[in-house]
Amino acid sequence: MTAPSRYLSPLRYPGAKGSLVPMIEEIVLAARAALGPVQLLVEPFAGGASTSLRLAATGVVERVLLSDADPLVARFWQVAAAETEWLIDRMYEEPVTLERWDHWRSWNPNGVDDRELAVKCLFLNRTTFSGILHGRAGPIGGRSQTSQYTIDCRFNKDALADRLRFIGALYKANRIVDVWCKDWQDTLSDVVEWYPELLPNRVLAYLDPPYVAKSEKLYGKSFDPSGGYSAARSGSLVTEWNRGVEHYRLAEYLRRRAQHRWLLSYDSHPSLLTDPGLYAAGRMTPDSTERELLGVKSWYISKRIVNLNYSVSGHGRNDRAEELLLTTLPAACVPVGIRMREA
């Protein structure tokens, strides 16, 4: 199975960090000596899924399971994997114009299983500023379309068809085992029920959650309550107190209840390593009940600062940024050097 290019995902995603993938690959490969091969990589914030696609394509992990809380994104991956040729044919039929951008912005499906959701996701992702899917971003080139970058500049249909066919091939080969439309907690809990024989060391969750800063501007389903998660769970109005509470819920789950290994990447926000409610602790801290009933281990949490170049919310330029990488894979497998320094 040959990958079409080093860019495997058809989706452009805010904050996509392709330069982080080789480092993740290095860590996962190094962990094989201690734990054996990763038989299932779970990505609960699938987004553009570039990490999962690369690790599945290179055989670093045996299989991947994608999940995303955004029905638009989840439906795209479901159709891209299982109905690849239909999506490719439908993509070639679609004119890439400002009029069609307006159509897709206002269009709503008949139901969550509508295949046209996949078309909407692909079209808006490839024609909207920075690939942002929700309503705060405009079309590439603006309404006037007088820029040197027009609405179709990121919509090379032949190249996208190659990437889509590669996704279909991964699915047919059972390298992509499934795509779920679930939030992160339901995903991690359900993996434990579906794959108990792989616990604790042959399942690895790779989590790339929304940023601590600016997530409400970048994601349709961010950790900001206005983005979907907290508001859906609590039904409450957005307040300064509950804004960002999902970061704490995720940290509490990973530190106390995760039954398999995990690897987490974040924007390098100062609070992540100093707040006891986030990741200030050096080890997982399950209580006696969680240890006994769930089998949760007290794994050491390795923490690294990684320097990256990527475009987030600027004006198409690459900015120097730092990324935080945390993992419960064995500490000896997590390198320290020029690319990654201890946090």
User: Domain-by-domain residue ranges, the chain?
Assistant: 18-342
Instruction: Give the pLDDT mean for 130-147.
Output: 89
Q: Of 79, 99, 100, 97, which is closest to residue 88 (Cα–Cα)?
A: 79
pLDDT above 50: residue 241: no
Q: What pLDDT is stored for residue 130 in this prediction?
A: 87
pLDDT at position 90: 98
Indicate the pLDDT class of residue 244, thresholds 50, 70 and 90: confident
Q: Which residues of 38-64 are buried (b: 16+ CB within 10 A; e: fewer)?
A: bebbbbbbbbbbbbbbbbbbeebbbbb
pLDDT of residue 102 exceeding 60, the answer is yes
Q: What is the pLDDT of residues 4-54, one digit of tens each?
A: 556 799 999 765 567 789 999 999 999 999 999 999 999 999 999 999 999
SS3 assignment for the chain: CCCCCCCCCCCCCCCCCHHHHHHHHHHHHHHHHHHCCECEEEECCCCCCHHHHHHHHHCCECCEEEECCCHHHHHHHHHHHHCHHHHHHHHHHCCCCHHHHHHHHHCCCCCCCCCHHHHHHHHHHHHEHHHCCCCCCCECCCCCCCCCCCCCCCCCHHHHHHHHHHHHHHHHCCCEEEEECCCHHHHHHHHHHHCHHHCCCCEEEEECCCCCCCHHHHCCCCCCHHHCHHHHHHCCCCCCCCCCHHHHHHHHHHHHCCCCEEEEEEECCCHHHHCCCCCCCCECCCCHHHHHHHCCCCCECEEEEEEEEECCCCCCCCEEEEEEEEECCCHHHCCCCCCEEEC
Rounded to an integer, the average pLDDT of 151-156 is 97
pLDDT of residue 19: 79
Predicted local distance difference test score (pLDDT) of residue 14 = 65
Average the pLDDT over 317-332 and give the result.
83
- Taking the CB of residue 272, how many other CB atoms lie within 10 A of it? 20
**Residue range 263-281, pLDDT digits in tens:** 999 988 999 999 999 999 9
Closest CA to 322 of 336, 305, 300: 305
Q: What is the pLDDT of residues 159-186, one digit of tens each?
A: 999 999 999 999 999 999 999 999 999 9
Cβ(77)–Cβ(69) below 8 Å: no
